[in-house]
Chain A
Amino acid sequence: MEQSAVLTMRGICKFFPGVRALENVDFTLREGEIHALMGENGAGKSTLIKVLTGVYPKDGGEIHLKGHDAAVNIRSPQDAQNLGISTVYQEITLCPNLTVAENMYIGRTKDPTVNWKKINADASKLLESLAIPAKATQQLGSCSIAVQQMVAIARAVDMDCKVLILDEPTSSLDEQEVAKLFKLMISLKEKGVGIIFVTHFLEQVYEVCDRITVLRDGKLVGEYVIEDLPRVQLVSKMLGKEFDDVADIKSEADTENIDYNGTPVYEAEQLAGTTGIKPFDFQIHKGEVNGFTGLLGSGRSECVRAIFGADKVNGGTVKVNGKTVKINKPLDAMKNGISYLPEDRKRDGIVGDLSVRDNIILALQVMKGFFRPFSRAQAEAFADEYIKLLSIKTASSDTPIKSLSGGNQQKVILARWLLANPVYLILDEPTRGIDIGTKVEIQKLVLKLASEGKSVTFISSEIDEMIRTCSRLVVMRDGKVVGELSGDDFNQNKIMATIAGGESK
């Protein structure tokens, strides 16, 4: 399969204030191939795509396109469009209240008059040639999401595109819809279109892709032909751990004092959520630190959200300290001594305009009740205590939390949940996007809490961080719990093999 390259990116750099989002990244897309772009959160996938489509100006490097002698300069999405680079995003960006044909041709003619007959005929022909099950005159909104996705692709293809970028197109599709989409992708590939496929579903990568480029921390890990890269290797490349490495990182968790035969602090049986996870069993003992692991989108966050009642729960029984309880909303969980530090700090964690003090006391205050506010002095005492305890860097407890750095914001949220004095603390990616010093501080804090008899669930994308802090890992893949590792099985190789699943069995 030696095809000529349709797109070559060389030494692409992109800096954001304080962050190197992309460092010397090379990427080559050949004619008629489906090329997966893989990497965990923050690896630089979306930044690379945005540089390619002109959303961000690049800070270094060159982009070459087939048919252009010199390096091309892409300054805006419109430029990219004109050069034949089209993008279809995860969310549909078309208008559901227009017809399929209108959506395909809207904004593309400079003609002041519109020949609807011709447009409808052209659209029908294109839909037919791509085997998309939609009528040109049908309202887009009446099609399924998958078909809408396909119409977006058809629109892109018809604009004479040579490079088609599909940014997580399958995340809201069911299996049959995915199959239909893949059929379309393969037929486009046969027509010579180069497709960049961004996804975090491993299975799908191995189903349709020819090559894989892996990014990590803004750097290129490598480009591989799919046959040469088994799944386990891919996972280890994405996570940045050599599979054959002797796992020298040991758990620092102290498991001696945990009474595994006693009543679990929290126990769930066949807990089912509405967010696409399969029912699962889970339990945690006093003083234990456990983790949920799996790649992005594997459902690890959804599981802990279900435990906390953050998303709707629709089945299963939950016991706290052996007593059956109902947890339907966060307040129920809080009253049962469960705390939850959410994954998305900005959206779910901080209350931006409120002061550090109000952010710290919020959870405890809500638990205490609407009619029993803390006195100002009491609130200040709480805030000062935790600002000191976690060494939060803030001008004063009156400072709005949004003006703090990410790491300090995270500490404030942590302070909020420590103040609530939970028996079971769930930390979902507490160390994401914060400096290394704070990361270590948080890991130490987790171990200290466990030694004080609290139970902690710790989730992190960094495997060694998990190994260091947890004594047991629940492994997830595609919304299912696929394994539970502890004791002798608790090492990197085993964990990565379980995450990857498939052939590694």
Chain B
Amino acid sequence: MTVSDNKLKTKNPVLGALGKLVQNQLFIPLAALLVLVLFNLIADPSFFKISLDQSSAGYPVLSGYLITIIDNASELAILAIGMTLVTSASGGQDISVGSAIAIAGSVVLRVLCGTDSRPTELKAPIIVAFIVCVIVSMIFGAFNGVLVAYFKIQPMVATLILYTAGRSIAAWINNNELPIISEPSFGYYGNFIPGIPLPTPVFIAAACMIIIALILKFTNLRLYSQSVGINPYSSRLNGINPQVVKLITFIILGACVAVAGFIKVSRLSTINYSVVAKDIEMDVILAVALGGNALSGGKFNMTASIMGAYVIQFLTTTLFKFKVNANAISAYKAVVVIILVVLSAPIVREKLMQLKKKIMPGSGVRKEVA
């Protein structure tokens, strides 16, 4: 920090550019990513090695920690999209995401397997299973949304209902059985498509990002949800219906849940209702927070949220690489998270700015002269 500060003192244009970068919302996730990269570079540069291997099916595929990261972060990134919107409009978070993924996955299995837990052939086309899964997930999203928007229940409390009930509902959908799909083409969505060396979830996540980018560009979703999140009263007087906007964001999150759930089932061709995507909601909320978005709603930066998701996966993978016990990972994560979140808190940033002013009182004056 001090090194860069000294540099700032001597070169004014750099001060401006760097100051701007620090102010930028992307700064925190980018800085975190940089720290992780540096740490890995120093500890073991082989972390960044990417090699061309043979998959179990005999096709050439890329492998390496970086590939693992972008592969495994897919679900997180997709969910971060929906969670960012929910946070912005409702000023709260949906904690039922993990349970809703169990439901989504269970629906896919039910449609593809029927009542047969070890089907030799699919009972329905995969696309049908996907569509049904999206519809069901959006209905559950709408359920949360109605509780929040129309019954004015705090989002965390409202989604606690589905958080509690979701995994039971998931088990009930398949009569408490765990069907396994033997059809290999179903595994393409969570693993590799023969001949393509990158894991499919990466493409699915990219597609979701493109879709949300298009939605944000060609609709007023950003303006509406920010405005509702900042001031619902004045939004209403400007003709916006705050309740509908909140409901829509929950439905969009429902769609994100469906896609993430579909990937999850496809990865293993089955799911375990009680452990699939466990605690993923916390990682998703963290991704949003890490992106510098206020969890109390209002303005948001979608890119920063998605970046946050990749940073979290980078951290998880790094910890795995260093053979941290799976049970202890959460504790390590917590430490890192505390540092990041505290650093990105507006109150701390303000204090840091003041400190900077105190240390170098000249810089402000010089800026004025310039």
Contacts and interface: CB of A to CB of B under 8 A. Distances in A.
Contact of A350 (B220, B234, B241): B234
B230 interface: yes
Interface stretch (A113-121, A140-148, A159-167, A363-371): A363-371
Contact of A363 (B219, B224, B230, B238): B238
A351 interface: yes
B223 A373 contact: yes
Contact of B223 (A347, A349, A350, A362): A362
A434 interface: no
Given A352-B231, A362-B227, A370-B224, A330 B219 contact: no
B234 A347 contact: yes
B110 interface: no
Contact of A354 (B217, B219, B299): B299
A334 interface: yes
A310 B227 CA distance: 17
Given A351-B227, A354-B299, A310 B237 contact: yes
A354 B226 contact: yes
Interface in B206-245: 217-221, 223-224, 226-227, 230-231, 233-241
B239 A347 contact: no
Contact of A366 (B218, B231, B239): B239
Contacts of A348: 233-234, 237
A128 interface: no
Nearest to B226: A354
B298 interface: yes
Contacts of B218: 371, 373
Contacts of B223: 354, 358, 362, 365, 373
Nearest to A416: B238
Question: For this complex, into which size category does the number of interface residues on chain A fall?
Answer: 20 to 34
B11 to A, nearest CB: 25
Contacts of B226: 351, 353-354, 358
Contacts of A367: 239
A54 interface: no
Given A370-B224, A373-B219, A351 B237 contact: no
A352 B224 contact: no
B237 A366 contact: no
Given A358-B223, A365-B223, A371-B218, A351 B234 contact: yes
B237 A353 contact: no
Given A363-B239, A367-B239, A351 B231 contact: yes
A329 B237 CA distance: 8
Contacts of A197: none
Nearest to B217: A373
A366 B218 CA distance: 14
B236 A342 contact: no
Contacts of A371: 218-220
Contacts of A347: 231, 233-234
A349 B237 CA distance: 8
**Interface-central residue, B220, B221, B239, B299, by most chain A CB under 10 Å:** B239
B96 to A, nearest CB: 27
A380 to B, nearest CB: 14
A371 B237 CA distance: 20
Nearest to A402: B230
A184 interface: no
B227 A340 contact: no
A366 B234 contact: no
A331 interface: yes
A353 B234 CA distance: 12
A370 B239 CA distance: 11
A352 B219 contact: no
B239 A354 contact: no
Contact of B230 (A310, A353, A365): A353
**Interface-central residue, B221, B233, B234, by most chain A CB under 10 Å:** B234
Interface string B225-268: 01100110111111111000000000000000000000000000
B12 to A, nearest CB: 20
A352 B235 CA distance: 11
B234 A331 contact: no
A159 B259 CA distance: 63
Interface in A5-56: none
A402 to B, nearest CB: 9
Contacts of A354: 223, 226-227, 230, 299
Contacts of A366: 220, 238-240
A351 B222 CA distance: 14
Contact of B238 (A330, A352, A370, A373): A330
A486 B230 CA distance: 42
Contacts of B299: 353-354
B234 A349 contact: yes
Contact of B234 (A308, A342, A369): A342
Given A353-B298, A365-B223, A330 B234 contact: no
Given A330-B237, A330-B239, A351 B230 contact: yes
A371 B223 CA distance: 12
A347 B230 CA distance: 10
Contact of B236 (A330, A353, A369): A330
**Interface-central residue, A329, A358, A362, by most chain B CB under 10 Å:** A362
Contacts of A365: 220, 223
Contacts of A340: 237
Contacts of A362: 223, 227, 238
A142 B224 CA distance: 40
A352 B230 contact: yes
Contacts of B298: 353
Given A334-B239, A353-B298, A363-B238, A373 B231 contact: no
Nearest to A371: B219
Interface string A363-391: 10111011101000000000000000000
Nearest to B235: A351
A362 B238 CA distance: 7
A29 to B, nearest CB: 38
Interface in A322-342: 329-331, 334, 340, 342
Interface of B: 217-221, 223-224, 226-227, 230-231, 233-241, 298-299
15 contacts: A310-B236, A329-B241, A334-B238, A342-B234, A342-B237, A347-B234, A348-B233, A349-B237, A351-B235, A354-B226, A354-B230, A358-B227, A370-B221, A373-B217, A373-B223
Interface of A: 308, 310, 329-331, 334, 340, 342, 347-354, 358, 362-363, 365-367, 369-371, 373, 416
Given A371-B220, A373-B217, A373-B223, 9 more contacts: A342-B237, A350-B231, A351-B226, A351-B227, A354-B299, A365-B220, A366-B238, A371-B219, A373-B220
A-B residue pairs, 4 tightest by C-beta: A331-B239, A366-B239, A351-B231, A353-B230
